[in-house]
Amino acid sequence: MRNDALDSGVRRKTEKEKPMTTLIKICGLSTEATIDAAAKAGASHIGLVHFEKSPRHVTLEQAAKLRVRTPTSLKVVLLLVNASPVLTEQAYRAVRPDVIQFHGSETPEWLALVKKHMKVEVWKALGLRSAETLTNARRFDGIADRLLFDAPAQALPGGNGVAVDWSLLAGHQHLVPWGLAGGLDPDNVGEALAATHAPLVDVSSGVESAPGVKDMDKMARFCQAVADHDQRSHQA
Ligand SMILES: O=C(O)c1ccccc1N[C@@H]1O[C@H](COP(=O)(O)O)[C@@H](O)[C@H]1O
């Protein structure tokens, strides 16, 4: 397992510190077999999507069953898109995720309210268009437990396999933990990490054989590519 070190995401390493291991979230899982494969491959987080328009949608009942069945080495992230307060609370009670990922136009005030009432980490996904997005992201400082930078919304708010402009993140001073999402796959994740030094990478369509169908071989290759990157940077 590679997920022993929880990187704050703010610093990668200092001279005397051990270099950190990149966290890996594999999103949009819907079967026990793929959850087991994610654990075996070395992911740190799995994502369950509760959003009816997504090909990766799982009902709250399915999500609750998968959650209970998930090995303790994996943190469970429940993904919601502009869910109502009632649905958010229902989803939290049914699934008891470790994290709720908000992937719509949710506000800092809404995330703060969720954090106040639910024992859960709150992550906010933001569509990274320009440097201005990074400035606007400061609204979530001290509220979101992690920011995820994804490509701007297309047909769906996420899960579109579209990469962000990594150069926008290169050298950016992050004040809160963060992660890179959008269009990652086994062949480009090493380059993405070298360009951005992301402490967490989040992948969905890049490890699928068809929309909503996870490919366990691609999942393993993705995690191996991240491990290879980590090893290279530990040696540097
Ligand atoms: O995966 C989905 O279907 C999805 C639906 C609605 C919002 C977000 C969704 N997925 C998230 O999108 C990003 C990037 O996905 P991809 O790797 O480009 O396919 C990731 O955070 C997923 O968690």
Secondary structure of residue 193 in the 3-state scheme? helix
Q: Is the CB of 48 under 6 A from ligand 1?
A: no
Percent of the chain whose pLDDT exceeds 70: 92
d(CA 20, CA 104): 30
Is the CB–ligand 1 distance for residue 203 below 6 Å?
yes
**Which tens digits make up the pLDDT trace of 150-194?**
999 888 898 899 999 999 998 898 989 999 999 999 999 999 999
Secondary structure E strands in the chain = 23-27, 45-49, 75-80, 99-102, 121-127, 146-150, 178-180, 200-203, 208-210, 213-214
Position 18 pLDDT exceeds 70:
no
Residue 2's pLDDT is 44
- DSSP designation for 57: B
- 221-225 contacts: CB < 8 A, separation 24 or more? 221/186, 222/24, 222/26, 222/41, 222/184, 222/185, 222/186, 222/189, 223/2, 223/24, 223/41, 223/42, 223/43, 224/41, 224/186, 225/186, 225/187, 225/189, 225/190
Looking only at the bridges linking them, the beta strands covering 99-102 and 121-127 are parallel
Q: Is 79 in the pocket of ligand 1 (CB under 6 A)?
A: yes
Ligand 1, residue 57: give the atom nearest the CA. 3
Tell me which of 76, 150, 214 to substitute to probe ligand 1's pocket, judged by most ligand atoms within 8 Å of the beta carbon.
150
Query: Using an 8 Å Cβ cutoff, are 97 and 77 in contact?
Result: yes
Q: Is 218 in the pocket of ligand 1 (CB under 6 A)?
A: no
- Determine which residue's CA is closest to atom 19 belonging to ligand 1: 159
116 CA distance to ligand 1 middle (Å): 26
- Residues 150 and 81: their CA atoms lie apart, in Å, by 14
Report the C-alpha gap between 232 and 36 in whole angstroms.
Answer: 27
Backbone angles phi, psi at 207, to 5 degrees: -125, 40
Q: Is the CB of 161 under 6 A from ligand 1?
A: yes
Q: Does the beta carbon of 28 sit less than 6 angstroms from any atom of ligand 1?
A: yes
| Ligand 1 neighbourhood includes 159 CB (under 6 angstroms) | yes
Which pTM was predicted?
A: 0.91
Distance in Å, CA 149 to ligand 1 centroid: 11
Residue-level pLDDT at 153: 86
Give the angle 63-35-121 at the CA atoms, nearest 5°.
60
> What CATH class does 23-235 carry?
alpha beta
ipTM of the complex: 0.97
Q: Measure 79 CA to ligand 1 centroid, in angstroms.
A: 9
Residues 6+ apart with CB under 8 A from 1: 39, 42, 73
pLDDT digits (tens, 9 = 90+) for 27-72: 999 999 999 999 999 999 999 999 999 999 999 999 999 999 999 9
Could you tell me the residue ranges of all domains in the chain? 23-235
The CB of 44 under 6 Å from ligand 1? The reply is no
Q: What is the pLDDT of residue 19?
A: 59
